[in-house]
């Protein structure tokens, strides 16, 4: 592939960057030397980072990291006491914390003081409802001002938040509620998108959810259950609340991510995980005081909490557009709110490129874009860059169990479309081939400890998932992640999909087994195997399902439509099956495991870029 840079940083951009300031402080002239120091002297790097981010500690730590229990159980900020929400409110009271716009509405601004008062009201309301520290509450709603305030309020009150994406079906919501058993769930009556009202509270009812606190956004008369209440009736007047101070490793959030089994992993975030999110925002996305950060996302995906912490801890504003980010109204919102960092999923850019909807707008104030969730296409990323008069795209790849990225880009290095320029600061990984030898192309393994890495799972054995039967490197323990990468001749990295049975579809990670479990419910399917196919030119993966026939009477085209419908209804409407392929026999290993890699090699489907 061509290694020509699409963007080169000017001396002014470099000198104004947070990375350069840290390099200068520690006497580094080359970024590569700075990165090496950040992993060789992790304690010093993370100690300085905690200071740079002005993380508010009620009691200071005795050591930045304690590995006495093993690097796989590293204890960060040992001995400290804190509530990470306190670090989110360190800008001036009158500074803008959230800018938002409803579809067809006007831009509204909320100051830091106003947001903090709303957070305090909700925290007091939770206590009045009878909730106690370490009870769980859930949020299943779009990314709104209220969602952010509820999220921060729960954490401030010592009540961990279970986050569920609003796109999930009732079935998937119920799975997540059964794992976490929250006492209360926050939601809306409906979702309003593109002038339509989509059921949300109804899905909550169908999922047999606990007591719901419902925000009413429509004029529809949707009856609540006897135990449910409206948000306005839930909210008390008291705007003062003292943060519940906790240990650094106390749980603040439960997020879900797919493994290679049908049930999603329930991944706890602690008070230290947001420090990883904020540090990636500080260094790699160069978020600075009073910047405006926009990233269409949801609290159910890690980029939702990431957006809150990376923005507020860095004293930046969060920009929220309540509708779909597909049309000119979203683009005008980005323009009119003076967004300085815009995050996207590549599929969105594909839509913009095909419709040309963003071309009339002035995005010149944008300093950088960021792309995550799925592999990007160089042609589409270069198109995106030109929408803001040639601004770089920070490619960003990580995981829920990391709290941020492991491979990314910077504003101090040349930017090459759809590739990563560096391993994330403060973290290190290696690539191993199928023989567990160091390679320039292979599966990625993290080298712990790294701030943000999970130490536990709610519903699985953490050690078995990430460390069991993993080879060591120079005596060091390695941690499994599942991504495959290629290291290019210039030291940059290119994503090569997944090494395990997970896949990214439309920016959402899902396991092959989750897809197959649903598909196998169809009468005409005896057995199936789901695979993700990456286009040769790069870009989002396409879902292809191989299947063994059970009955033959159903037309081929009808079969595809039935498969699409059941995925839409039982998993996620954002998942799209590109092809359904009949096969006589699925290839298997001697132990009976389906060889999905062999199916990927067999398939010659060309992904449609329309």
Rounded-to-integer distance, Cα 237 and Cα 326, Å: 38
Q: Which of the residue ranges 19-23, 231-235, 497-501 would you say has the lowest mean pLDDT?
A: 497-501
pLDDT (mean) for 543-555: 85
Rounded to 5°, angle at Cα 122 from 116 and 123: 85
Give yes or no for residue 556 having a pLDDT over 90.
no
Instruction: Using pLDDT thresholds of 50, 70 and 90, give the confidence band for residue 189.
Output: very high
pLDDT at 605: 55
Rounded-to-integer distance, Cα 348 and Cα 334, Å: 14
pLDDT at 500: 67
Q: Which of the residue ranges 141-150, 311-320, 448-457, 579-588 would you say has the lowest mean pLDDT?
A: 579-588
Q: Are 231 and 213 in contact (CB under 8 A)?
A: yes
Rounded-to-integer distance, Cα 326 and Cα 330, Å: 7
Q: Are 50 and 275 in contact (CB under 8 A)?
A: yes
pLDDT (mean) for 103-112: 96
pLDDT (mean) for 211-236: 95
Q: Which of the residue ranges 221-230, 556-565, 581-590 would you say has the lowest mean pLDDT?
A: 581-590
Give yes or no for residue 44 having a pLDDT over 70.
yes
**Joined tokens for residue 254:** 């439960």
pLDDT at 501: 67
Give yes or no for residue 251 having a pLDDT over 50.
yes
pLDDT (mean) for 396-419: 96
Mean of all residue pLDDT scores within the chain: 92
Domain boundaries, the chain: 504-602
Instruction: Using pLDDT thresholds of 50, 70 and 90, give the confidence band for residue 36.
Output: very high
Q: Are 481 and 433 in contact (CB under 8 A)?
A: no
pLDDT at 537: 66
Rounded-to-integer distance, Cα 40 and Cα 37, Å: 5
Give yes or no for residue 188 having a pLDDT over 70.
yes
pLDDT at 593: 67
| Chain centroid, CA 549 distance in Å | 37
Report strand pairing: 229-230 vs 211-215.
parallel
Rounded-to-integer distance, Cα 334 and Cα 317, Å: 13
pLDDT (mean) for 37-56: 97
Give yes or no for residue 326 having a pLDDT over 70.
yes
Task: Reduce the DSSP state of residue 463 to 3 states and report it.
Answer: helix
Burial zone of 583 (CB within 10 Å; 0-12 exposed, 13-18 middle, 19+ buried): middle
- Bigger pLDDT: 502 or 412? 412
Residues 6+ apart with CB under 8 A from 323: 102, 103, 192, 193, 194, 329, 330
Backbone angles phi, psi at 98, to 5 degrees: -135, 135
- Bigger pLDDT: 321 or 557? 321
**Joined tokens for residue 567:** 């995925």
pLDDT (mean) for 306-312: 98
Q: Which of the residue ranges 8-22, 260-274, 353-367, 462-476 would you say has the lowest mean pLDDT?
A: 260-274
- Bigger pLDDT: 585 or 320? 320
Q: Are 311 and 100 in contact (CB under 8 A)?
A: no
Instruction: Using pLDDT thresholds of 50, 70 and 90, give the confidence band for residue 434.
Output: confident
Give yes or no for residue 275 having a pLDDT over 90.
yes
Indicate left, alpha or beta for 291 from its phi (over 0: left) and psi (-120 to 50: alpha): beta
Residues 6+ apart with CB under 8 A from 194: 103, 323, 324
Q: Which fold has domain 504-602?
A: GMP Synthetase; Chain A, domain 3 (3.30.300)
**Joined tokens for residue 225:** 């259950």
Give yes or no for residue 610 having a pLDDT over 50.
no
pLDDT (mean) for 230-249: 97
Give yes or no for residue 485 having a pLDDT over 60.
yes
pLDDT at 586: 85
Q: Which residue has the tokens 């039935």?
A: 562
Burial call 514-535: b when 16+ CB within 10 Å, e when fewer: bbbbbbeebebbebbbbbbbbb
What percent of the chain is helix, strand and coil (3-state, nearest 5)?
Answer: 30, 25, 45
Task: Reduce the DSSP state of residue 186 to 3 states and report it.
Answer: strand
């Amino acid at each position: 592939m061509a290694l020509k840079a699409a963007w080169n940083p000017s001396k002014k951009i470099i000198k104004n960057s947070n990375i350069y300031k840290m390099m200068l402080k520690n006497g580094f002239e080359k970024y590569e030397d700075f990165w090496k120091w950040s992993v060789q002297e992790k304690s010093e790097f993370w100690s300085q980072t905690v200071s740079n981010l002005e993380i508010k500690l009620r009691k200071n730590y005795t050591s930045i990291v304690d590995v006495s229990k093993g690097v796989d159980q590293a204890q960060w900020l040992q001995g400290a006491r804190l509530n990470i929400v306190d670090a989110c409110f360190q800008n001036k009271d009158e500074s803008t914390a959230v800018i938002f716009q409803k579809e067809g509405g006007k831009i509204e601004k909320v100051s830091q003081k106003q947001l903090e008062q709303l957070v305090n009201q909700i925290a007091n309301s939770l206590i009045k409802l009878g909730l106690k520290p370490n009870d769980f509450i859930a949020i299943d709603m779009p990314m709104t001002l209220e969602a952010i305030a509820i999220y921060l309020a729960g954490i401030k009150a010592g009540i961990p938040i279970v986050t569920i994406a609003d796109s999930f079906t009732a079935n998937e919501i119920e799975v997540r509620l059964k794992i976490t058993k929250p006492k209360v769930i926050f939601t809306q009556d409906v979702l309003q998108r593109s002038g339509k009202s989509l059921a949300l509270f109804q899905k909550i009812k169908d999922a047999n959810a606990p007591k719901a606190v419902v925000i009413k956004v429509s004029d529809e008369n949707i009856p609540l259950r006897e135990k449910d209440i409206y948000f306005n009736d839930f909210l008390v007047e008291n705007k003062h609340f003292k943060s519940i101070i906790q240990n650094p490793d106390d749980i603040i959030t439960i997020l879900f991510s797919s493994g290679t089994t049908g049930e999603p992993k329930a991944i706890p975030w602690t008070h230290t995980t947001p420090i990883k999110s904020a540090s990636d925002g500080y260094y790699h996305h160069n978020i600075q005081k009073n910047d405006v950060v926009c990233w269409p996302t949801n609290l159910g995906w890690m980029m939702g909490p990431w957006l809150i912490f990376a923005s507020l801890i860095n004293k930046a504003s969060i920009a929220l557009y309540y509708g779909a980010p597909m049309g000119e109204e979203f683009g005008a919102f980005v323009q009119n709110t003076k967004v300085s960092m815009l995050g996207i999923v590549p599929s969105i850019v594909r839509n913009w490129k095909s419709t040309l909807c963003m071309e009339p707008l002035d995005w010149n104030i944008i300093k950088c874009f960021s792309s995550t969730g799925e592999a990007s296409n160089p042609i589409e990323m270069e198109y995106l860059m030109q929408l803001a008069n040639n601004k770089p795209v920070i490619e960003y790849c990580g995981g829920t169990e990391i709290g941020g990225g492991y491979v990314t880009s910077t504003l101090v290095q040349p930017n090459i479309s759809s590739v990563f320029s560096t391993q994330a600061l403060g973290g290190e990984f290696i690539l191993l081939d199928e023989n567990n030898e160091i390679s320039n192309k292979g599966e990625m393994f993290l080298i712990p400890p790294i701030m943000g890495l999970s130490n536990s799972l709610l519903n699985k054995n953490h050690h078995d998932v990430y460390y069991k039967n993993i080879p060591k490197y120079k005596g060091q323990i390695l941690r499994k992640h599942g991504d495959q990468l290629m290291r290019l001749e210039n030291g940059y990295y290119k994503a090569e999909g997944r090494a395990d049975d997970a896949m990214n579809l439309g920016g959402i990670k899902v396991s092959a087994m989750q897809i197959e479990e649903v598909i196998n419910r169809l009468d005409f399917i005896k057995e199936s195997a789901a695979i993700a196919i990456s286009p040769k030119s790069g870009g989002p993966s396409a879902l292809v399902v191989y299947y063994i026939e059970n009955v033959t009477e159903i037309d081929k085209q009808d079969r595809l439509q039935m498969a699409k419908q059941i995925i839409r209804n039982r998993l996620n409407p954002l998942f799209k099956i590109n092809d359904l392929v009949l096969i006589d026999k699925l290839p298997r290993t001697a132990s009976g495991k389906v060889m999905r890699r062999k199916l990927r090699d067999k398939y010659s489907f060309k992904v449609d870029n329309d």
